[in-house]
Amino acid sequence: MKTHSDFQIRPAHVEDVPIILELIRDLATYERAPHEVSATEEQLVNVLFGARPAAEVLLAFEGKSPVGFAVFFHNFSTWLGRPGLYLEDLFVKPENRGKGYGRALLVELAKIARERGCGRMEWAVLDWNESAIKFYRSLGAKPMDEWTVFRLTRHGIGSLAETNQVDQEQEQD
């Protein structure tokens, strides 16, 4: 647990799920997509605190008020032969920005990555979020301009899973 003055960062617990969902909704609103959040408290309990947790969450508080969070999980680098830490979401409420809370969350993540032997930390940022891009660069992070992120949504996953592998490979040749 990290504290200074009335600011604190700590790992989330199952009883924090309502706070996590609130912060997810706040992030979606900030990213101009509040209608895209379909997560429920029940889903978050299962996926974050069930038998096979898919991600971990750090919560940031100012006093007793939640002001931000970081959602992360491990990926793997075949070239490094080491796990990596992937930051899915970093969010500090707009009214609490400029106080060093985002940096403090990233410092805490860097400590976790170092303790766990991670070879790198990675995350994505929206192209229009100039303030975040400037912030990440100030920390020494480098954009991976030569990489393009691809995504299959739930529908796309289902469609791909139903195809015949051999037929699709021949179409690509």
Positions annotated as catalytic residues are: 136
- As beta bridge partners, residue 143 has none
132: Cβ contacts below 8 Å, ≥ 6 apart: 125, 126
Token match 């060093």: residue? 100
What does each C-alpha distance from 128 to 30, 142, 144 come to in angstroms?
12, 17, 16
Residue 8: is it exposed, middle or buried by C-beta count within 10 angstroms (0-12/13-18/19+)?
A: middle
Contact 83/116 with Cβ under 8 angstroms? yes
User: What is the spatial distance between Cα 168 and Cα 157, in angstroms, rounded to a whole number?
Assistant: 15
